[in-house]
Amino acid sequence: MPKLRLAALISGTGRTLLNFHKLIGTKQLSAQIIKVICNNTNSIGSKKAIDMRLPIQYVTLKQCNNSSIEQSSKIFAICKENNIDLICMAGWNNILTIPEEFYNKVMNIHPSLLPSFGGKGMFGINVHKAVLEKGCKISGCTVHFADNDYDSGPIIAQSAVEVYDTDTPEDLAARVFVAEKSLYPKVINAYAQGRISVNNRKVTIKNEFSI
C-alpha cells in the first residue's frame, strides 16, 4: 500500500494522534506523519507529539493576529512545502479556509453521526450531552472531508454505537472514541489506496471496508 505523507492538526489531548502513531508502528496505517501542526502550545497533545518524537510546528491564532484566514494560509503553506498528501484534523478546534488545491485532501473526525450534533459549539463532551438529552438510541462518529464550515463537508464513512439508558456523557464519549480509533485509520488506508472518490458531495469508497 502506498504510504501517505500525512499532516495531523491537533489542539487537544492528542489521543487520535497517538492512535495513528501506534498503528503506523504496527503497519496497520499506511502513512508517515510528516508534520504535527498544533494551535495550542500548552496542550497535552503537543507534549505527546514531542514524546513520540514527531516534528511539531505551532500555528496559533495569536501568532496570526487572531485571523483564522491568516492561520489557514500558514498551515497550507507548510503542507505545500512538505508535499503533504493528506491533512487529518485530529481533535482540531479552529475553522479552516481551505485553498482549492487542497479540496478533498483535508479530513476530520467528529464524535456524532453527522449531520446531527455538528456545527459551532458541538465539540467534546457537549456533543454527547446533547445526544443523551435528545434520547437518541444510537450515536457514533463520522469521518468527512472538511470544507470551510464546522463539520459540514462530504461524509466519507460513519460508525454507529449503541446508547444505553444508564450512559453518562463520559460513558458515551468513551464508547464513541473506541469506534473512532478503528474508523479513521480505515478511511485513511482507503484514501492511500486511491479508493475514495467524491462526486457532488457524494463520496464513494471502492470495495467498502467492514467497520
Using CB under 6 A, list all residues that contact ligand GRF. 10, 12-16, 45, 90-91, 109-111, 141, 180
The residue (of 77 and 111) whose beta carbon lies closer to ligand GRF is 111
- Which one from 21, 110, 128, 144 is the annotated catalytic residue? 110
Measured from the CB atom, is 1 or 174 closer to ligand GRF? 174
Min dist CB 4 to ligand GRF, Å, is 18
Q: Which three cell numbers stand for residue 110?
A: 467528529
CB of 146 to ligand GRF, least distance (A): 11
DSSP 198: E
Q: Which is nearer to ligand GRF, 91 or 153 (CB)?
A: 91
Please enumerate, as own/partner, the contacts of 114-121 that have beta carbons within 8 Å and a separation of 24 or more: 114/142, 114/144, 114/151, 114/155, 114/158, 115/151, 115/152, 118/142, 118/150, 118/151, 118/152, 119/150, 119/151, 119/152, 120/150
* Cell digits of residue 49: 507529539
132/141 with CB nearer ligand GRF: 141
The residues, any chain, with a CB within 8 Å of residue 197's CB and separated by 6 or more, are 203, 204, 206
61: helix, strand or coil: coil
Active site residue 21: no
- Please report how close the Cβ of residue 21 comes to ligand GRF at its closest, in angstroms: 11
In 52-168, where does DSSP find H-type helix? 68-81, 125-133
To ligand GRF, the closest distance from the beta carbon of 148 in angstroms equals 17
Q: Which residue number has the CB closest to ligand GRF?
A: 91
The residues annotated with a catalytic role in the active site are 110
